[in-house]
Structure formats: C-alpha cells, structure tokens
Chains A and B, each alone.
Chain A
Amino acid sequence: DAGVIQSPRHEVTEMGQEVTLRCKPISGHDYLFWYRQTMMRGLELLIYFNNNVPIDDSGMPEDRFSAKMPNASFSTLKIQPSEPRDSAVYFCASSSGTGAETQYFGPGTRLLVL
C-alpha cells in the first residue's frame, strides 16, 4: 500500500483565499483524522471520521474550517477564508480501529497564508 496520501504537499496563498487540503487514507481503514501542527500549539486534533461520518469536530478552530469525507477513500479539509494564523502543517492520519491500533500519518501539507 502507498500509505496515506496528502495533496498538495505545499500551499502558499493570500489571506482571504479558499484553501482545500486533500487526503486519501489507507485502503480498508475505517478511521480518518485531521491534525494541525504549529510551533506554538504543537499537534492538535481537528476532527475525525469513522466510516465517513464525522464523530468529533471539537478541535475545529472556527466556522472558517470545514471537513468532509464523501467516501471511504477521500477526505477534504477546507479553510474559507484563510488567515495568516492558519499557517501550519496539516496532517491526515488513518487507522483500522481505536484503542491500541496504530494511526498512520501522511507526509503533511505545509500551508503558508500571506
């Protein structure tokens, strides 16, 4: 398997623009997670899905952020409008279960909002 795939790997945009991050989880994994990593706040869980259904979105910072999972092999994280404080590395991860199951992380999308 190719692992978790994220695109784009790097994104530079201007404040106010819409940004869409994409993720393809490992085939057969039922759980998908979106994280944000910054120097100031470390690694934060934004939202996670189980069987394409959002289960916990308590980490989504505000209404400008939205996430969807239309099918088992694709998810998007959208920021509209983007702000400079959204600059971070965004990771997608997937797993086949919870508890002791390993989460497999993608390579991340490095977002810079000017």
Chain B
Amino acid sequence: GDSVTQMEGPVTLSEEAFLTINCTYTATGYPSLFWYVQYPGEGLQLLLKATKADDKGSNKGFEATYRKETTSFHLEKGSVQVSDSAVYFCALSAPETSGSRLTFGEGTQLTVNP
C-alpha cells in the first residue's frame, strides 16, 4: 500500500541555520505530495504541495521538489527562524489506490533556538 517515511526527529537548529527534512514515499500511479505544519496547540495546516513530477512547491521560504526518480519530497529552508518551531508532516494523496484519504508520515519535530 501507499506509505510515507520521514527522517526521524526531533531536529534542533540555531536561528538562521539551513533546514532539510527528508521524506520518501511509496505509491502506485502519480500521487500528489504535501507538507503540512502543526504549531503547538493547533491543527495541521498546509505548508506547500506539488502535484506532478519535477514540480516545486514553495511557501514562507520553504521549498520541496517532487522527485519521481528518487520517490522523494524533501523539505528545505535556507534560514530558519524561531517561529518555524513546529511539527512537520509529509503526506501523499493517491486516489487510484487510497481513495480520498491522505497518507501521512510520522511527523518531524523542529525546534529552532535563538
């Protein structure tokens, strides 16, 4: 079945450091890929998405490129801020095999220190 694997956390960085959170997936067909972010005490919210191979999603300085050849969708940011501290979830949607559900990774806790 469909699955998403994220790098294990937690991740702790200093402000202005470079961030990479790895995400790989397994799916048949052509899934859409997402990054959701969850701030403390809140629900998940969409950070960015990509719907086909080689697409780059971007938002708030974060970027991720849909790499079909490596089945990856790694999240990057060039300079993190304290306000980026949150849990980040990689997810995929593959209607051909999983209907309308999103398949989520385990989540990666990011803490950014001043």
Which residues of A are interface residues toward B (Cβ below 8 A)? 4, 31, 33, 42-43, 45, 48, 50, 55-56, 91, 93, 95, 98-100, 102-108
Determine chain A's interface SS by DSSP, over half rule. Answer: strand
In the docked arrangement, what's the CA distance between A99 and B102, Å?
9
Q: Tell me which of B15-23, B41-49, B69-77 binds A.
A: B41-49
Q: B25 at the A/B interface (Cβ < 8 Å)?
A: no
Contact check, B43 vs A107: say whether CB atoms are below 8 A apart. Answer: yes
**Hey, which bits of chain B sit against chain A, CB under 8 A?**
32, 34, 41-46, 49, 51, 89, 93, 95, 99-102, 104, 106-107
A21 vs B100: C-alpha distance when bound (angstroms): 22
Which residue of chain A lies nearest to B93 when distances are taken between CB atoms in the complex? A99
Residues of B contacting A33 with CB < 8 Å?
101
Pair B45/A105 contact, Cβ less than 8 Å: yes
Closest Cβ–Cβ distance, residue A80 to chain B (whole Å):
25
Complex alpha-carbon distance, A98 and B106, angstroms = 21
**Which A residue sits closest to B30, measured CB to CB?**
A99
